[in-house]
Amino acid sequence: MSDKENGRLSGKVAIVTGSGQGIGKGIALRLAQEGAEVVVADYNPETAEETASEIKSLGRRALSYPVDISNVSQLNQMADDTVTEFGHVDILINNAGTIQIKPMMDVTEKDWDRVIDLNMRGTFFCLQAVARKMIERIPKELKAAIGPVESLAVPKEGEGQKKGITGCWGKILSLSSISGRSGRPTQVHYAASKAAVISITQSAALALAPYRINVNAIAPGVVNTPMWEGIDRDRAKLLKLKPGEAMANIVKTVPINRVSTPDDLAGAIIFLCSSDADYITGQTLNVDGGFAMN
């Protein structure tokens, strides 16, 4: 898109974690196409820079930002640096994470800690760091009328609107998974972490609703990315199948009968980040071709 004024997210600043490749990269590029300026946050500085370069080629500003989402101090610094560079932050996409395919009885303490640390702990503390910056942007008189976020465990009905906070001051969207909807025998720790993302989303939505900060999640199914290629290899080895067979067997159970692409997910995310979704919060949307209908 060459006209900067035409995007649905024109003037917005977005942070996308894990956006050096795969789903995160697709989301970051789509946000830029819709007018957003993007912080490309990734553990790998080289892939982050590649994504940032592609965004700049679209005529958008982009900042390549190496970050370890398991490091809380780095997350807080990222939020600070984003505001320093762009002046504000409007959107957070909590995409970074990991997966491991392993039978339940073989999962070690190290396996468990790594998956939970990245997928659950990283998601929460990134959300917390960026939400602080979103709240800081709200005019002081409106914040004073609402009170500190820590005191708003259960907001009263219509609290924000009665106090004069209207519109939307931020959009936070985290990636869960259909595995977070129901258990998987070879993904116990991963499924637990993604179920936690759904719970974090609901709790944060309640805490931040008076500030008109929307918090939602999406639950992808099978996605055509390098990560899923690795999942296919692990499942094939575990089930004694040929490479590609495990993925093909899963696709047979998808009503739409194909894997999704990062752009499929990005379409749903753009909607949830737009003003069309200002009245949606605390929800987890399945984007899975009908694989899990709940």
Go through the domains of the chain in sequence order and give each one's CATH number: 13-221+261-287 (3.40.50.720), 222-259 (no CATH)
Task: Starting at the earlier edge strand, list the strands of the sheet with 284-287.
Answer: 62-66, 37-42, 13-17, 91-94, 170-175, 213-220, 284-287
Residue with tokens 């500190």: 148
pTM for this entry: 0.88
Residue ranges of alpha helices (H) inside the chain are: 22-33, 45-57, 72-86, 109-116, 122-137, 140-146, 159-162, 188-208, 226-239, 245-251, 262-273
- What is the pLDDT averaged over residues 153-172? 62
Question: For residue 65, what pLDDT band results from cuts at 50, 70 and 90?
Answer: very high
Question: For residue 202, what pLDDT band results from cuts at 50, 70 and 90?
Answer: very high
The catalytic residues are 190
> What pLDDT score does 149 carry?
61
pLDDT at 154 exceeding the cut of 50: no
Q: What percent of the chain has pLDDT over 70?
A: 86
